[in-house]
Amino acid sequence: MWANLDIDTIDIGKSLFKAFEPVAPFIHYLKFEREMQAEWFYYGEVDDIRYFVNAKEIYIVPTDGLTACIGNTEEHYYPCGERNVFHVDPTNSERVFRGEDGEGEINDLHNKWCRENEEFEALYPGWIVHI
């Protein structure tokens, strides 16, 4: 495999950040998948993102849903800066939300969905799971 680390997005999927420590400083565009609210990630592995010191953009695919990203850039450090963190919808990779503003959009969409489904939930309690 050949990649131009100056322009190519390196998608590491669910691989651990630690595995990329030797080459991480050379990666400018990073994409990964994580269960954002999992304790092992939220309180541990997320700190290893620091290995990617020269990242210009980071793309996150939250396997536990977009709402798991709300507050992410405020709570965690990203070397590219919060404005260059992108949250990719795990059900539709064409929907991408940028930084803290994107997290606000995700929150607004979730709140709208909850309001629209209040009547359904009243008729069928327990059918809708709120995250």
SS3 79: coil
- CA gap 23, 96 in Å, rounded: 26
Residue 22 located in a structural domain: yes
Report the percent of the chain where pLDDT is more than 70: 90
Number of domains in the chain: 1
Give 130's pLDDT tier (boundaries 50, 70, 90).
low
Residue 66 located in a structural domain: yes
Convert the pLDDT of each residue in 20-71 to its tens digit: 999 999 999 999 999 999 999 999 999 999 999 999 999 999 999 999 999 9
Look-up: residue for tokens 């798991």? 68
- CA gap 58, 76 in Å, rounded: 13
- CA gap 109, 20 in Å, rounded: 35
85 residue type, one letter: V
pLDDT of the residue at 128:
54
Write out the residue range of the structural domain in which residue 65 sits: 9-123
**In the 8-state DSSP scheme, what is residue 69?**
G
Residue 3 located in a structural domain: no
